[in-house]
Amino acid sequence: MENPSWLFVIATAIAVVGIVIIFKQLISRVHEQGEKFESKKELASFLMKLAMVEGIPIVMIAFGMMQIMETTGIDYVIPLILIFCFLLFGLIQIFLTRQQVNNDPRTPEQVKRLVSGYSILGAAFASAFPIISIALIFMTQEFQTL
């Protein structure tokens, strides 16, 4: 592949969409089970699913990093825009999910606090791959100027 930036875009898309889906599943279980929610068990399940989803993007990022030194004259504007779009998509979806639970009058305060904590965790995971991809694209540009 001539432009490793597209590998970073695809890796970001897979990671962010996968994390959003897994996060929404976790929050729906928290909301359904309410105070009977087993936090440690469900968090462990969430992290295992997260590790499975992030496997392919990690390999793609590593493969793209190997190709950075071999690139010349690539366009990076469109990949950067797409990565920012995926970052915004992930963050918006996570915080909209949190708002849906918090706006439900039947939701207990303990569940609202738990969902808010998980939202911060989900936002951190969803923004990790876009940040890494953006940094690697800028690194690609630096190697081109050398």
Count of CB atoms situated within 10 Å of the CB of 86: 23
Tokens representing residue 117 in the block? 């904590």
User: Residue 1 has which token pair?
Assistant: 């592949």
What pLDDT was estimated at residue 93?
A: 97
Residue environment code for 20-42, b if the CB has 16+ CB neighbours within 10 A, otherwise e: bebbbebbeebbeeeeebeeeeb
Cβ neighbours, 10 Å, residue 18? 22
pLDDT averaged per 10 residues, the chain (length 146): 85 97 92 78 89 94 86 81 97 96 88 90 95 91 68
**Cβ–Cβ < 8 Å for 15, 129:** yes
